[in-house]
Structure 1
């Protein structure tokens, strides 16, 4: 399989990249700073560029089967700028499968019907800006016609993959409090390989 990985220098993206190369997949990584990639492989194509630039996204999609986007909000509007460009480019190149990293805030609330978790009165978030960015990206994917999945981790500390975690479609698993970076990357990669949970946000937690 040939993956395009966005956000490959980040905490989750770097681990997804490592797993994909270990399994001998072809990987294209579009990154702003190629020197931050510590892997060297004949299977890896590094492209310097910006996911918010139309031409950079287009040139990164040649021959790609699946997109894995680990882009964060970056304290700004990266997601809402990059997502429509990515959707258009994927359609142009005939690529339909995309797995992205979201946030547990855009999962459905179990206690407040009709609300997302970040919208509930008992949310502990001091700011909803990041969740609102993720929500806009989700809504764009929903309307895109692409085969999308959004992996939605809760509190995300550094840590290795344990391989034992719980997942739920569109909700956070009951009493889920945290999930490591390693297990989030592991699940994201597995979903991308197996075409699971298409058309769903997926909550993940221990």
Structure 2
């Protein structure tokens, strides 16, 4: 399989890239800093690094080619709204050049609130975050995907915490599984990699977290 990755040098992204290479996938990663990427990612003939900017359509065109079979994004939010500003360019290039599916790491904030009908979690009392800007950035991506004809999956983790996993990953369609509190970047990447071709997940938000012992 040929995979193009955005956000491949972040905590979750580099774990995903490492697994893709280990599985023998041809993996193309768009990076802002080539030297930094080389220091973080495996040295492999299966890895192609392209220096560029995800907000630049020409960079995206170089990263997504007719040979691309899957586009995976582990881009994180920032104060520049990079997700909402880049998703249009990414989807346009997929529709133009390939039949690839799209999968991304999103946030539990855009899952449905379990106890407040008609609200997303970030709009409800279930969310403990004071700022909603990151969730709104992810929400724009979700809304654009719903309008597209591209096959997609959004993996929506709870609070991401470095360190050893606290338990197995549990998941639920469109909701955050009850009782989960955290998940590690390694667990997110492993679950996403295992399920990127899971057709039952297509056009769904997948709430994920680690099940801890009570």
Q: TM-score category by the smaller chain?
A: over 0.9
Q: Alpha-carbon deviation of 1:159?
A: 3.0
* C-alpha displacement of 1:195: 4.0
Q: Determine the structure 1 residue equivalent to 2:61.
A: 58
In the TM superposition, 1:15-26 aligns within 5 A as 15-26=15-26
1:105-159 CA-to-partner distances (Å, cap 9, x unmatched) read 0000110011000001453211100001100111001111111100000010013
Distance 1:22 1:134 in 2: 29
| Residue pair 1:170, 1:202 contacting (<8 A) in 2 also | yes
Aligned residues: CA RMSD: 1.5
Aligned residue number for residue 140 of structure 1: 144
For residue 118 of structure 1, give the secondary structure of its aligned residue in structure 2.
Answer: helix
SS of the equivalent of 1:141 reads: helix
Distance 2:166 2:93 in 1: 36
1:92 aligns with 2:96: yes
DSSP 3-state at the match of 2:29: strand
Q: Which runs of 5+ in 1 are unaligned?
A: none
Extract unaligned runs of 5+ from structure 2: none
Report the TM-score when normalising by structure 1.
Answer: 0.95
Query: Following the alignment from structure 2 to structure 1, what is the Cα–Cα distance between the partners of residues 33 and 166?
Result: 30
Counterpart residue number, 1:48: 51
User: What secondary structure does 2:83 align onto?
Assistant: helix
Q: Distance in 2 between matches of 1:186 and 1:69?
A: 14
Question: Once superposed, which parts of structure 1, at least 4 consecutive aligned residues long, lie more than 4 Å away?
Answer: 160-163
Q: If the length of structure 2 is used for normalisation, what is the TM-score?
A: 0.92
